[in-house]
Structure formats: structure tokens, C-alpha cells
Amino acid sequence: MKIRIQGNTVRYRLTKSEVETLAQTGYYKEETLFGERTFVYAIKADQAIQELHADYVNDTITMYLNKDKSSAWPKNEIVGFSSEIKTSNGNTLSLLLEKDFVCMDNTDEDQSDNYPNPKLSK
């Protein structure tokens, strides 16, 4: 899983196997070690959530996706989910959760578990 944070926008990209794990177990996470502290970013399926939502607690960003949507996601053509959350201080936090496609440019990154890029098949 990749995370991209730019300003008040948080985006996760998941490979095929990560989308499958989320569908099967309802949870997926990655960790980055910073010395004695660990930054965690996770996605959790939750039946009570209707729209993509997120929180940040104890050095962990967790996005929440509706359980039915997460279960169906590996089998459908939906690229991703997005939402905007109004924060308590009046700002807007934009969230995006999407399938990770093969890059269109040359890269040394292993992309064997990425989804085929629809723009490359044209």
C-alpha cells in the first residue's frame, strides 16, 4: 500500500493482493519505523461507515470503508472511493482510496501485483 499526503489530501493506493486481503479480513496496514516510533497507515472495513472516513490516533492514520464495498471491490471495476470531511476547525480533509495501476512510464518499482493500467491497453 502506498500513501500520499499533500496538504489536506490523503490518498492510499492498494495492489491486487492488498485489496483481496482487505476484502477477506476487513483490515490492511503498513508501518514505517522512525527510530523508536512507528507511523502506521491502515484501511479498515466497517459496516457502520457509509462514506470513506478517516481518523488519526496514536501515530496511525486509519481510513474506514464500508464493509460491503470492501468485500465487493476485488471483483468489480470500481477504481476507488473518495470523500471530503469537514474538520472541527472548519478545514476540509480530502480522502482517496484507489486500486494501484501499473505506471505508464518506466520505473524500477516492482509492479507485478498492480492492476493493469486501462490507458496502456488502448
Helix H or strand E encompassing 67: helix 67-72
Q: What is the CATH number of the domain that holds 42?
A: 3.30.1360
Rounded mean pLDDT, 76-90: 92
Q: Is residue 24 part of a domain?
A: yes
Q: Is residue 39 part of a domain?
A: yes
Q: Is residue 104 part of a domain?
A: no
Provide the domain limits for residue 95.
2-99
Q: Is residue 71 part of a domain?
A: yes
The closest of 13, 5, 10, 4 to 94, measured between CA atoms, is 10
Q: Please tell me the total count of domains within the chain.
A: 1
pTM over cut 0.85: no
Q: Which residue has the higher pLDDT, 29 or 79?
A: 29
The closest of 61, 70, 65 to 82, measured between CA atoms, is 65
